[in-house]
Structure 1
């Protein structure tokens, strides 16, 4: 069904110069990327989260933790960006300033073509060495698990935020700065309503931004929204592009390099 918006909302979307979009588990689910709980099945079901996804677990059994995240990485790589991913790329190309903040770790936003991207929880497609923090986007498989950093030789760990770790300072600071300067703040799909991310809509409200919520369950994001779109995000976002931009851009994903 074609999307319709109140004239006041549509005009603000068309006049906006600085837009921030926030995505989370709902975006991953639309591409059938399993959540932690959904992936925690089969041979992995016997292990508690404290054995798979904490720094303490990594230090106790780095091989098992690495292989758990490798399992999740392979699953994510088998998935494909959905129509909402590509619509967000269209919006990035349309607005003078567009920042995409995501809680997802599957790398699908990058694969779709998003470039002004802040991955608050890291990405399964990257790793970093435990000793020096070197960021590694490709590593040689020599049969060692976890592999070693090509720069310093220390063990690699998944490049994601594990349970009990804080969000990376640089990414969080950049996300807050974008929110505090935006004209429009768009929450796409179900997003984890935990601090500090749950404070973003309040920050956007303080600067007078329009808050738009798309295909999200009742949460702080829908409660504070100026307008709520209840259509599935893979339908609503392409329709939003049609209304704001005038036509839906046809992006060739192959034109974008896979590696960050």
Structure 2
């Protein structure tokens, strides 16, 4: 792996406009199970005879807003999960002016928690909740610490600012992500299988110099990448930091 770390170091050093694209793998390193892995959300709720797609749908939220928020508290809100070395590395490169920002498929908000400011969250974020009646906003900390299920101002239903099954992705977010990819001279993919749309469609718009993929398992884009590292991404970043 040492040669690949050296190659990654050179690519990052020479790049001026890096865009990062992250998936569930980066959150796994912070202790948040992959959605469909053993111990993940699908596994846990399926064992109880519940449909994960229904519990994360607009239909369930509309039918039972309190039950939906109970589900969020039990399965989605991780008060003890913090950004890891990879989130921090991405945020640091943005602060240094080397990065255009990050596009993520994750809803945990850990990129923002790490200090990244230019974040396109394709599926929304659990860092924001809002009342669907009066539009009062709450942070994830508000909801967890005060054990909120309804709006403190008007008593209306609360929901997280995430894309539920049955909803469209935010088109402004998609366009921002697309522009980041098109403007990048280097695209670094971390912890994504690149099989879930819109990931694959977005990645195909990259026309820059270097495509880097760091993921434990192979992806459909490995053959197009300039550098592929099938290793634990935290170990990769820690090794990279040691030689800088």
63-72 or 186-195, which moves further after superposition?
186-195
Structure 2: distance between partners of 1:68 and 1:62: 10
Look up the SS of the partner of 2:195 in the other structure: coil
Shift of 1:192: 4.7
Partner of 2:89: 87
What residue is the counterpart of 2:227 in the other structure? 227
Offset, 1:179: 0.6
- Root-mean-square deviation (Å): 2.9
Q: Secondary structure at the match of 1:99?
A: strand
Output the TM-score relative to the length of structure 1.
0.79
Q: Is the 8 A contact 1:149 1:156 kept in 2?
A: no
Distance in 1 (CA, whole Å) between partners of 2:47 and 2:67 is: 10
Q: In 2, Cα distance between the equivalents of 1:42 and 1:54?
A: 14
1:211 and 2:211 equivalent? Answer: yes
Q: CA, structure 1 residues 135+219, in 2 after alignment: closer, same or farther (shift >3 Å)?
A: farther
**Which digits, 9 at most, give the CA deviation of each residue in 1:105-164, with x for residues without a partner?**
1122222222221211111221123246554326578x99631274x6642212111123
CA distance in 2, matches of 1:241, 1:166: 39
Displacement over 4 Å in runs of 4+: 9-12, 131-135, 138-141
**Do the aligned residues in 1 keep the contact of 2:186 with 2:210 (CA within 8 Å)?**
yes
Note the residue ranges of structure 1 that are not aligned, 5 or more in a row: 247-260
- Number of the residue aligned with 2:69: 66
Rounded Cα–Cα distance in structure 1 between residues aligned with 2:226 and 2:46: 45
- The number of residues matched between the two structures is 239
